[in-house]
Structure 1
């Protein structure tokens, strides 16, 4: 049963072919779009042979959509009806391509085939600095002498550069086990992990709890682990918003809504020091040796001495702070307005202000050479830490806001609000791996990375990812497996149908597999498939279609493609008319060759038999006429 759209117009045929009065659509689409009726021809002859015109438009478009771009363009030249269908197919394919691009972003750029033990020492371009520490402008155009540039070279195109060697590794791209540390929903939970056996946890209950991580041999995968270490650290007057745990030295820093920073002894539970000075909720902490830095909603970044408890420097922003990091020489902070500032840790001098984010900067990470920042605008931006260079070097797109960042071995590890953790190659921008933190789609609130462990905090649970120990292989050429187009033998088409192009590594759909099979079998699908009509003569007595009875009703006929089954390699295949003619010609040539060979053999046999007859030798034993009849050509020769 066929249901036609409401806007379908039927063209009924008149005359002797009235049995073909099937409803012919005016190229209506499922969404109600109707093509002009003028595109259809009123010729009953064409309509009886043109299957594309007789089918419902969505089926016709489905058939044409399986063609490649070249064949689709050729179909548009058949007639106005085909041209309209081809135009609609192209428009639909464009929409599908746009949707696929968005899906690729949502799925993490479709990363597949990352080599988990890849490692290499690579040459990385960095800008040269003068004696004052500023970048040096390049005289002339460097693009004219370079044929290929990577992202960093393109960013440094008008600067003097030099090359350094850095080590890159595909960290966190291997297999891993998951441990559930806490399965209690808590949107206010904050954590910190420094790589030992304890995780510090703070929340709105104003307490800091220490959770012990058991050894991997003590637990089975997926087992719920909750082993709280006493004592519970209590003393804050408000919810805790920032933590920093240093297990080796036996202390933890906590800060939050009560505007104070407290240093706790994790073994005795005593509050060792209290740091006061902020006028707003403290949102972030970071520690380096004997100094630590804090950022708050009051727009101030403060550098503290851990032992003396004094504030060494105060660095000011014009909006609230959400992320702050420091090393021995620099302090980097990200604010509500999307600005990132780089300060000198020793003097408190502002080195540069980086602008590029369209939302608050929630997280950041850096090393001696490079800086990465994440924002609620869904982008991770890469910058240079050298000199006063303020140019964005590379951008990593995400579907939602960025909540956590790490930068290790030229790999950017980002935690997104879509519930996924992505590992990017900083040099190329490609996504190597996507880790799904939970199956519920809960956002990543934060994560901490130490060694081969990753502690992930989400509003629903607290997880531990324990990755396998990796022996790094420095002999590999690429950081990911080349999966995609495989080598094809000569003569086969390597082009993929327009609407079936996919990224490397993705599983092919059934339509894609069928299209590839059709391409690899001598390109059976061409611009159009010819059809033939044959009348069916029914051998029934007293039938309307018998030779005696005259009827105005035409005899039934069968319409089918002009393709012919051919058996090759124990399989049947369909041949077009031209292929059938070529096959018949080849078969005729082969038959003629075999006939000529047989004739020559018969002539040679007759000649030998005639010589034996002259010599008086028996001919029957030679030609074996008693067992096998002699060929006519031989008998004629004897006569």
Structure 2
């Protein structure tokens, strides 16, 4: 079959006009290089997996993780599938499935001696398990409304918990006997813990109040409330202690951090450089630095002598957790941008960036030496990141 040349020419002309029309519809962006960089970054996050393996038994988001303090090869994880698992990092072997909650498991923690595991959920229950007895359920504690956090005493089998109903409970384990009920807060108690020496309890609430308690008789030692305008930083979200246990830093939804003396209850400093909720705080134990993580994607580094801003570290999403590696100037951060990063706070330099998750990171925990980082995500996975490059002790020069 043959075609008339005029018909062919007309057809080609129509194609050319269509191409030119489509080209005119494509906007030319002055930010093309930035767009390309963002695409490349997303591709790198999606394609790169820096993990040394993972645990994939959860069927929903992974909300909590904790490492056994006696055997750091053992992890407990809890998730939106209403179960928790105890598993071994090195082999990725599942050791126990902890079933009994009727809603998401949002908190989990090993006792100081690694013998017991506490899991708390949105069902208002705290379940106590004996790890070495194949995850035997020891006792069930009813902690009121949704459980927001649990913490073990640093030297005994005593458990502390805070809930959405404004109450804080202290139990003796394994009996499950109630030792104290701490009542003052008017709204959810979002954070709380024993002080490092185990002699006091500090709780922080959505109502903006911070209370220092005597655990022996549930009496208030110190309190700070929004009625003191110097302390007002919105609902409180998290807290952390300095190495000596003499000072507590508390963060709030307004992006502010307040520094309080545990000795006399005095307000020592106000850190106001971030714009959105503070999600995590950590003190460096070798340098005078406190790090504060915010939903605004920043990590602010403050000098603990002057309480002045030293540096700001940047993620591409909300920073949900951070912690210093013990006896080093190295800081580990995790973000909803799906990355885990290791920083040197002396310089503000990012030493390592780890990829592997395909959705927001929700929780992390790490070994004492900082070489193993375990992360849980909205993608239902738990990944094991290895960071072994910073084992040598270095000069801690700080200006």
Q: Is 1:6 matched up with 2:17? A: yes
Q: Is 1:363 matched up with 2:280? A: yes
Q: Equivalent residue of 2:23, what SS?
A: coil
- Mapped to 1, the partners of 2:380 and 2:44 lie a distance apart of 22
Q: TM-score, structure 1 length as denominator?
A: 0.44
Offset of residue 316 of structure 1: 2.3
Equivalences for 1:313-328 in 2 at 5 Å?
Answer: 313-317=222-226, 318=232, 319-327=234-242, 328=245
Q: Is 1:306 matched up with 2:223? A: no
Determine the structure 2 residue equivalent to 1:514.
none
Determine the structure 1 residue equivalent to 2:175.
268
Q: Whose strand proportion is higher, 1 or 2?
A: 2
Bigger Cα Rg: 1
Q: Is the 8 A contact 2:284 2:290 kept in 1?
A: yes
Determine the structure 2 residue equivalent to 1:377.
296
Q: Is the 8 A contact 1:329 1:344 kept in 2?
A: yes
- Mapped to 2, the partners of 1:425 and 1:459 lie a distance apart of 28
Offset of residue 467 of structure 1: 5.8
Q: Is 1:251 matched up with 2:158? A: yes
- Mapped to 1, the partners of 2:43 and 2:259 lie a distance apart of 32
- Output one character per residue of 1:263-294: Cα deviation in whole Å (capped at 9) or x when no partner: 12232222222211111110001322111211
Q: TM-score, structure 2 length as denominator?
A: 0.68
- Mapped to 2, the partners of 1:325 and 1:311 lie a distance apart of 19
Offset of residue 341 of structure 1: 0.9
Q: Equivalent residue of 2:24, what SS?
A: coil
Number of residue-to-residue matches in the alignment: 323
Cα distance change of structure 1 residues 460 and 330 upon mapping to structure 2, 3 Å threshold: same
Offset of residue 297 of structure 1: 0.8
Offset of residue 180 of structure 1: 7.4
Q: Is 1:337 matched up with 2:246? A: no
Equivalences for 1:284-303 in 2 at 5 Å?
Answer: 284-288=191-195, 289=197, 290-303=199-212
- Mapped to 2, the partners of 1:405 and 1:431 lie a distance apart of 14
Determine the structure 1 residue equivalent to 2:145.
238
Q: Is the 8 A contact 1:337 1:359 kept in 2?
A: yes
Specify every segment of 5 or more residues in structure 2 that has no aligned partner in the other structure, as ranges. Answer: 1-10, 51-71, 83-103, 227-231
Cα distance change of structure 1 residues 2 and 378 upon mapping to structure 2, 3 Å threshold: farther
Q: Is the 8 A contact 1:177 1:466 kept in 2?
A: no
Q: Is the 8 A contact 2:311 2:348 kept in 1?
A: yes
Q: Is the 8 A contact 1:262 1:275 kept in 2?
A: yes
Determine the structure 1 residue equivalent to 2:126.
208
Offset of residue 211 of structure 1: 5.3
- What's the RMSD between the two structures over aligned residues? 3.9
Offset of residue 425 of structure 1: 1.9
Cα distance change of structure 1 residues 399 and 307 upon mapping to structure 2, 3 Å threshold: same
Cα distance change of structure 1 residues 332 and 381 upon mapping to structure 2, 3 Å threshold: same
Q: Is 1:191 matched up with 2:108? A: yes
Q: Is the 8 A contact 1:380 1:402 kept in 2?
A: yes
- Mapped to 2, the partners of 1:316 and 1:101 lie a distance apart of 43
Specify every segment of 5 or more residues in structure 1 that has no aligned partner in the other structure, as ranges. Answer: 9-27, 35-87, 114-175, 215-225, 477-639
Q: Is the 8 A contact 2:171 2:180 kept in 1?
A: yes
- Output one character per residue of 1:65-95: Cα deviation in whole Å (capped at 9) or x when no partner: xxxxxxxxxxxxxxxxxxxxxxx9xx88x62
Determine the structure 2 residue equivalent to 1:12.
none
- Mapped to 1, the partners of 2:122 and 2:361 lie a distance apart of 18
Q: Equivalent residue of 1:31, what SS?
A: helix
Offset of residue 440 of structure 1: 4.4
Determine the structure 2 residue equivalent to 1:117.
none
- Mapped to 2, the partners of 1:243 and 1:427 lie a distance apart of 33
- Output one character per residue of 1:107-134: Cα deviation in whole Å (capped at 9) or x when no partner: 68x9999xxxxxxxxxxxxxxxxxxxxx
Q: Equivalent residue of 2:250, what SS?
A: strand
Offset of residue 335 of structure 1: 0.9
- Output one character per residue of 1:148-193: Cα deviation in whole Å (capped at 9) or x when no partner: xxxxxxxxxxxxxxxxxxxxxxxxxxxx989674565355612345
Determine the structure 2 residue equivalent to 1:502.
none
- Mapped to 1, the partners of 2:312 and 2:142 lie a distance apart of 42
